[in-house]
Chains A and B, each alone.
Chain A
Amino acid sequence: MTPTRRRAALSAVVAALLALFAAACGSSDEEAATAAPESGQTSSKAEAAVATYRDYLEENADLLVVETKPFVAAVVAGNLAEAKSLYAPPRIPYERIEPVADTFGSLDPRIDARENDVAAGEFEGFHRIEKALWEEGTTQGMAPVAEQLQKDVEALAAKVKTVDPRAVDVANGAVALLGEVSASKITGEEERYSHIDLVDFEANVEGSEAAFEAVKPLLDETDPELSGEIEAHFKMVFAALEPYRRGNGFVSYTELTPADTRRLAQAIDTLAEELSQVPAAIAPAEES
């Protein structure tokens, strides 16, 4: 607590001093003239950052629709084993862009709610089918749920493509994706029947990295040191996941010991703490 309070107090002092300094010196036209072209450059960098991230959103929205189709087909056909094997692929693009999906009111709960997130009778989407496949061991009764899911992901994909964020929103999204990991993946609550939580974990981190990479050119300008630290910490998190990789997926969450989850959670917290400084750090580059 104390260092944080002190940091806040210090930065207030610095701000006050700067204001005093500016007031004492006045701002010469010369200074304003040299500042202007620079700000023009950064603004186009901000636009480029947003464009890069929008491409990523679009790509994953399309992938979500494409990967959901064979899964839905297997469920409708009543092919339990195939449905189980096709459950993870559509989860990946969804988890990569989750904070954006989250903003569309009722669509997100219809697609991704967990049983206890919603009122009884409103439980549908991926996790309703997940429960049927793994816990109930059947596809019975799931055909309409699967067909609705396909419609919902298509509606979501269309909406995702209309999103027009600012660069700071993209940076905030990178932090929010790691919040998703901390809140529900590392605890095994997200995929509580299939236990593929580490698949979601990696997808959240990939989405976070993509958002970070999009705004990185802005950060390289304002705080290259922070930028370097974050890149290193992303590598650290992916490296921490490696021991658990099996084939094109991961070990079941149930195989993780408290020491395993603790190591992963700490890696995420370290990265997220650094990442949370990005929005404020790039704001000057975006606004000017």
Chain B
Amino acid sequence: MISRRRLLASAGVGAAAVGLGGGGLLAGHRLAEASEGGTGIVPFYGDHQAGIGTPAQDRLHFATFDLLTEDPAELRELLRSWTVAAAEASAGEMVGNVNEVPLAPPDDTGETVGLLPSSLTVTFGFGPSLFEKPGLGLAGKRPAVLQQLPPLPADELDPAQSGGDLCVQACADDPQVAFHAVRNLARIGRGLVAMRWSQLGFGRTSTTSRSQDTPRNLMGMKDGTANIRAEDSEAMDRFVWVGREGPAWMRGGSYLVARRIRMLLEVWDRAPLQDQERTIGRHKYSGAPLDGRDEFEPLPLEAERNGHPLIPRDAHVRLASARENGGARILRRGYSFTDGVDESLGELEAGLFFISFQRDPEQFVAIQRRLGSMDALNEYIKHVGSALFAVPRGAQPGGYVGEALFS
């Protein structure tokens, strides 16, 4: 095991490294070094893939890939290699085992040497288009609910930032660690996959654990106050994890919806405070519902003032609330992004890279149908990218993500 940290501390550590297991295109898998620094390692292996119910880290690098092969054996090998590399990176180890051969390019690209594991999680998903490649023979394994998302009101989608056969969600507390994971997976997959689009996220906009404070999105609003918390295992089972309704390979998995939501920040920034608050339905600074004092007060959806609802009919929190959506909830795990300047406007190219996990994509579709047609927030946002992925259940040591898809 080559710890990135220890590599710095002692020379020639490669010779002492002990490889466990074997097989795969590249390296054998290595067990996580749980003792490394004691903190900052999220176990890669488990019943569920990491990066869903685990606490949201601060940084994201999300990428989707087009599969260039229709040979199922090659896809299996790719997933096996990706699994091994993701497990190594999550454990804070270097990727691969050829890293100190003078005449060979190192397996690991090296930019995380000396960095802590940084709670890296790597989450893999399969897009609907993967199941439409005849050569792979996966049509029979396709879950009925894994269809391209339907056109939704107010969509302004750019095909170049939508879709993909495979996705990788890398989250970490250090942006370089997240970047490193995606970069190395892309390198390992070269020839089998081509990166279709990717997104860096610089700040989490959701809370997925009770141990976290609610962060603010780029509108300066607290986001995700009413999100599902991972500690609420009943809600996770009910709304996030696929159960017996899904094919065996998806049980314990989830469906990932990614939406690149461009915020018209210049327009938002000139809206009066009270308009901003009425658009969302919460006070900007406290995060409390309108007229409330505490962020976690229940939304007074029935309350009226002067014959009008206190929380306006088109307020974002009302339309997104479980109560207005037949009880449906989703786990949000989005990130703020900026990609510099929109050259045709001279305005900030920035917004929310929305990610949600749900047991059935329809949970998202139903909520977004309402939001897209009625949400006051639509004046300030545009959905410009979209993708859906089936995220299979987690892998066990020795196995690989998606293995059950091929059995």
Contact = CB atoms under 8 A, between A and B. Distances in A.
Interface string A96-127: 00000000000000000000111110000000
A279 interface: yes
A252 interface: no
Of listed A120, A183, A189, residue having the most chain B CB within 10 A: A183
B346 A266 contact: yes
A214 interface: no
A117 B266 CA distance: 22
B305 interface: no
Contacts of B156: 116, 189
Contacts of A179: 264, 267, 270-271, 379
A72 interface: no
Interface string B134-168: 00000000000000000101111000000000000
A261 B344 contact: yes
A276 B274 CA distance: 13
Contacts of B275: 172
Contacts, number: 65
The 8 A-B pairs at the shortest CB distance, nearest first, are namely A276-B270, A258-B344, A265-B345, A179-B267, A262-B346, A261-B344, A266-B346, A116-B155
Given A183-B379, A186-B345, A258-B343, A118 B153 contact: yes
Interface residues of A, number: 25
A272 B270 CA distance: 7
Interface string B42-85: 00000000000000000000000000000000000000000000
Nearest to A189: B156
B343 A118 contact: no
B235 to A, nearest CB: 30
A182 B346 CA distance: 11
B267 A172 contact: no
A183 B264 contact: yes
A142 to B, nearest CB: 22
A273 interface: yes
Interface in B218-272: 264, 266-267, 269-272
B396 interface: no
B379 A279 contact: no
B373 A119 contact: yes
Interface residues of B, number: 23
Interface of A: 116-120, 172, 175, 179, 182-183, 186-187, 189, 258, 261-262, 265-266, 269, 272-273, 275-276, 279-280
B347 interface: yes
B303 to A, nearest CB: 22
A183 B266 CA distance: 10
Interface in B324-383: 343-347, 369, 373, 379-380, 382
A276 B344 contact: no
A261 B267 CA distance: 16
Nearest to B272: A279
A253 B31 CA distance: 59
Contacts of A265: 344-347
Nearest to B275: A172
A175 B270 contact: yes
A265 B265 CA distance: 13
Nearest to B264: A183
Nearest to A279: B272
A100 to B, nearest CB: 15
A266 to B, nearest CB: 5
A273 B275 CA distance: 16
Given A183-B267, A279-B272, 14 more contacts: A118-B153, A118-B373, A119-B369, A175-B270, A175-B271, A179-B379, A182-B266, A183-B380, A183-B382, A187-B344, A261-B345, A265-B346, A269-B346, A276-B272
Contacts of B379: 179, 183
Interface in B270-312: 270-272, 275
A234 to B, nearest CB: 16
Given A172-B272, A276-B271, A120 B151 contact: yes
A119 B153 contact: yes
25 contacts: A116-B151, A116-B154, A116-B156, A117-B153, A119-B153, A120-B151, A175-B271, A179-B267, A182-B264, A182-B347, A183-B380, A183-B382, A186-B345, A189-B156, A258-B343, A261-B344, A261-B345, A262-B343, A262-B346, A265-B344, A265-B346, A266-B346, A272-B266, A276-B270, A280-B272
A60 B153 CA distance: 29
A269 B154 CA distance: 23
Interface string B378-390: 0110100000000
B25 to A, nearest CB: 43
Of listed A117, A120, A186, A280, residue having the most chain B CB within 10 A: A117
Nearest to B150: A120
Contacts of A275: 270
A286 B16 CA distance: 80
Contacts of B154: 116-117
Contacts of A175: 270-271
B270 A273 contact: yes
Of listed A116, A189, A265, A273, residue having the most chain B CB within 10 A: A116
Contacts of B155: 116
A272 B269 CA distance: 10
A269 B343 contact: no
A51 to B, nearest CB: 23
Contacts of A186: 345
Contacts of B369: 119
B395 to A, nearest CB: 39
A245 B37 CA distance: 67
A189 B382 CA distance: 11
A262 B345 contact: yes
Contacts of A172: 272, 275
A134 to B, nearest CB: 19
Contacts of A262: 343-346
Of listed B267, B269, B382, residue having the most chain A CB within 10 A: B267
Contacts of B267: 179, 182-183, 272
Nearest to A119: B153
A187 B343 CA distance: 12
